[in-house]
Amino acid sequence: MNHRVLASTLAAAVLLAAPLFAQAPAASTKTAPAAAVKTPAAAATAIPRTADGHPDFSGVFSNASAVPVARPANCGTKEVYTPEDLAAGMGGARGCGAAAAGGGRGGAGRGGAGRGAAGRGAANIDPETGQPALQVHYDVSQFGLDATHATRAASLRTSIITGPEGKLPPLTPEAQKRQADLRAYNAQHQWDGPESRPLGERCIMWPAEGPPMMPEGYNSDLQISQGPGYVAVTQEMIHDTRIIPTDGRPHLPANVQQWFGDPRGHWEGDTLVVETTNFTNRTTLQQAPTTDKMKVTERFTRVDANTVKYQFTVDDPGTWTKPWSGELNMTKIDSPLYEYACHEGNYGMANNLSGQRAVEKKAAEQK
């Protein structure tokens, strides 16, 4: 029984911790905010190239970012900070406000015992024994999962989403209904079986894996491989690879749908443009259940020896009232991709479901 409590607590700790990492302030980035978002073409000579002359994207990159997906309201239509803004304490989730309100600069994302179950002290009572439960903690810094360990690409953007609004467009009425139906179903059935658990828990895909590929909060590393006619992007999260043919072939037939869609790439000058279609209607993007008509266009541009500018547009008329676009930087890191054997090590699924069955059994006995 203790194992189940432990596993559930760990799972909860990770879920709770993830948003904290994503909101870590810009001031804690390891890299200086020097590489501007709109680097002029002057750096073109410095980018690495493959033998066939295309920009060479191969290597391991981090897309960890302190930039929030949606723009903090206090930034208005301001898309880019100046270095002076950052020096004055703006940035990250604090947006364009003063530093004082946010407090704890560099503190968020350190995680550690205080954020785990142990921090709740005496309140953590094992329901079965009535005794204080095993004092578990999830020291994220110990495992290098916290944002302070991640190398983050510099960016002066106020939000990943581009444009004057800097946030997701409204959902269509149909999408609102789908979202409400999904939430209502989950409220009743989320513990029924493995297929009613979130895709991330099932090791099918993490919420931010995309495409568009967004920072995950942790494990935000990806490896790009490049050969004649192909570029492959492997995300460390769950070990998912998107193999992108660049030979001009057509998409798979429309009836063939894949979790990550079916990507096709082509070169526009030094930019790799990837169009992905053939999605399922079983995924969500930014909490919205998307449709199989979604199309995602990504643009990869080598800005300098260490940076890839990643731009994207999501077009799903069945979900959002208009297309939306974003931009972030990936930075090269000196590290291999680690193998994330998510499904192979998914003890949480069995523990969560069997734990829920035990709860139900106990409730039935007490009636």
Contact flags string 248-267 toward other proteins, x per CB under 8 A: -x--x---x-xxx-------
State the Cα–Cα distance between residues 308 and 154, nearest whole angstrom.
11
Span 57-76, contacts to other proteins by CB under 8 A: 58
Q: How far is the CB of 273 from other proteins (least distance, A)?
A: 18
With beta carbons less than 8 A apart as the criterion, state whether 203 and 237 touch: no
**CB-count exposure of residue 186 (10 Å: 0-12, 13-18, 19+):** middle
Of the two residues 26 and 237, which places its CB atom closer to other proteins in the complex? 237
Contact between 349 and other proteins per CB under 8 A: yes
Q: Which is nearer to other proteins, 117 or 208 (CB)?
A: 208
Which one among 221, 240, 275, 316 touches other proteins, defined by CB under 8 A? 240
Query: Do the beta carbons of residue 2 and residue 347 sit within 8 Å?
Result: no
Task: Closer to other proteins by CB, 37 or 224: give it.
Answer: 224
Token code pair at residue 17 = 């911790």
The residue among 36 and 199 lying less far from other proteins, judged by its C-beta, is 199
One residue of 120, 183, 357, 361 binding other proteins per CB under 8 A: 357
Stretch that binds other proteins, among 126-134, 152-160, 185-193, 324-332 (CB under 8 A): 185-193
> Is there a contact between 132 and 143 (Cβ–Cβ < 8 Å)?
no
- Tell whether residue 195 is a contact of other proteins (CB under 8 A): yes
One character per residue 81-120, x = contact with other proteins (rule: CB under 8 A): ----------------------------------------
Question: Does 347 contact other proteins by CB under 8 A?
Answer: no
Round to whole Å and give the CA distance between 139 and 358. Answer: 28
Closest distance to other proteins from the beta carbon of 73 (Å) = 38
Number of residues that bind other proteins (CB under 8 A): 48
Stretch 204-223: interaction string toward other proteins, x if CB under 8 A: x------------------x
Q: CB 277 → other proteins: shortest distance, Å?
A: 14
Which one, 73 or 243, has the nearer CB to other proteins? 243
Only segment of 78-86, 238-246, 285-293, 313-321 that touches other proteins (CB under 8 A): 238-246
Nearer to other proteins, 74 or 191 (CB): 191
- How many Cβ atoms sit within 10 Å of the Cβ of residue 49? 11
Distances (CA, A) of 145 to 137, 216, 221, 337: 14, 11, 11, 14
Which range, of 20-28, 87-95, 301-309, 339-347, touches other proteins by CB under 8 A? 339-347
Name the residues that contact other proteins, by CB under 8 A: 50-52, 56, 58, 191-195, 202-204, 223, 225-230, 232, 234, 239-241, 243, 245, 249, 252, 256, 258-260, 336-339, 341, 343-344, 346, 349-350, 353-354, 356-357, 360
